[in-house]
Structure 1
Amino acid sequence: MNRRQWLIIVVISLLALLGGALTSQWISKTGLANDPSIKAFFANSWQSPDGKPVNSTEWQGKVLVVNFWASWCPPCVEEMPTLDLLQQEFLQQNVLFVGIGIDSPSNIREFLKSTPVSYPIVIGGLEGSNLSKQMGNSQGALPYTVIISTKGKAVYTKLGKISEEELRKAIKYAF
């Protein structure tokens, strides 16, 4: 091959690379990318602490504040009043908080008797712990919060106790 043919191949390769990169960014920004962990979240057979099935498909199309927690975790317990307060405030704005208890159903039931919340609590167990890892919680520690946009894309994560100010900013960003 001569120099001109090599140059044409290099230019075409660079254009293909640029096209691929721009397409990837567009897919990501439009929410068309399929995140397996978000699919797993909605596909899970969640149950309430009293053993009743919870239909997570009703949560689709909302901004979701998913909080992985446990009754034995002091920072989890400390942030729950803030989560409850903001759930009540944002309820009319298509925002739903969901607590995934990484604990036994009996511990969660007992805990909720003394600390009731206005948002749904589901039993996560080992599956919930694995899901939190799939959603970016590489350490597997608690509490862990994920905010999912109306398009079904994780737009914010936080390991550790989340503040009211952090939550407000992240929720606004999710719209």
Structure 2
Amino acid sequence: MNRRQLLMICGISLAALLGGIFTSQWISQTGLASEPSVKAFFANAWQSPDGKSIDVSKWQGKVLVINFWASWCPPCVEEMPTLDLLQQEFIQQNVVFVGIGIDSPSNIREFLKKTPVSYPIVIGGLEGSGISKQMGNTQGALPFTVIINSKGKATYSKLGKINEEELRKAIKSAL
């Protein structure tokens, strides 16, 4: 192999490496929820796991921490105790956590019997997946968390398992 071929291979390899680095950073980023997607969240007819309608109007004017999850998703299940802890910490500060289960109602009911949480859980189904994507989860992966401030503007989103301190800081900045 001559020197020119070696330089060409090194140049192509470097370009591929840099392309991979920049592409992976772009893919893993999520956008913030748009105003129409926040309106779609509030306009959706959410139901509790036992089939009762949820009055989402009582959530307007509050800071919402919306967490899209599923019982079959290990990182989702792992972060639920932290979400529950933070709900208790911020409940007096007009912060409401909402878990949107992207799962069947029966699976969610069974899961909550074993792993109860203090915050509301609603059935997401296909509508929940669509709203998750509208809110910036372009990959449609779980878990996905969004913070909406009291004025209805998204201030934070995270694809993947949350970090307690990062989420605490994001909630405080939304207050």
Alignment of 1:144-159 (within 5 A): 144-159=144-159
Q: Distance in 2 between matches of 1:65 and 1:98?
A: 6
- Give 1:43 deviation, angstroms: 0.6
- Give 1:86 deviation, angstroms: 0.6
- Give 1:42 deviation, angstroms: 0.5
- Give 1:173 deviation, angstroms: 1.0
Query: Hey, what does 1:47 align to over in structure 2?
Result: 47
Instruction: Please tell me whether residue 105 in structure 1 is matched to residue 113 in structure 2.
Output: no
CA deviation profile, 1:81-119 (whole Å, cap 9, x unmatched): 000001011100000000000000000000000000000
Alignment of 1:134-153 (within 5 A): 134-153=134-153
What is the SS of the residue equivalent to 1:68? strand
- Give 1:163 deviation, angstroms: 1.1
Alignment of 1:8-47 (within 5 A): 35-47=35-47
What is the SS of the residue equivalent to 2:96? strand
Query: Hey, what does 1:172 align to over in structure 2?
Result: 172
Q: Distance in 2 between matches of 1:55 and 1:49?
A: 14
Q: Distance in 1 between matches of 2:109 and 2:103?
A: 10
Query: Hey, what does 1:64 align to over in structure 2?
Result: 64
Give the letter for the 2:142 counterpart.
Answer: L
- Give 1:59 deviation, angstroms: 0.2
Q: Distance in 2 between matches of 1:45 and 1:148?
A: 18
Q: Distance in 1 between matches of 2:163 and 2:54?
A: 28
Alignment of 1:82-121 (within 5 A): 82-121=82-121
CA deviation profile, 1:141-170 (whole Å, cap 9, x unmatched): 000000000000010000000011011010
Identity rate, percent: 82
Give the letter for the 2:98 counterpart.
Answer: V
Q: What is the RMSD of the two structures over their aligned residues, measured on CA atoms?
A: 0.7
Bigger CA radius of gyration: 1
Q: Distance in 2 between matches of 1:166 and 1:99?
A: 18
Give the letter for the 1:161 counterpart.
Answer: K
Q: Larger RCO: Structure 1 or Structure 2 (Cα < 8 Å, ≥ 6 residues apart)?
A: 2
Q: Give the TM-score taking structure 2 as reference length.
A: 0.80
Query: Hey, what does 2:19 align to over in structure 1?
Result: none
CA deviation profile, 1:69-91 (whole Å, cap 9, x unmatched): 00000000000000000101110
Q: Distance in 1 between matches of 2:109 and 2:154?
A: 29
Q: Give the TM-score taking structure 1 as reference length.
A: 0.80
Q: Which consecutive aligned stretches of 4+ in structure 1 deviate over 3 angstroms post-superposition?
A: none
CA deviation profile, 1:14-52 (whole Å, cap 9, x unmatched): xxxxxxxxxxxxxxxxxxxx7100000001100000000
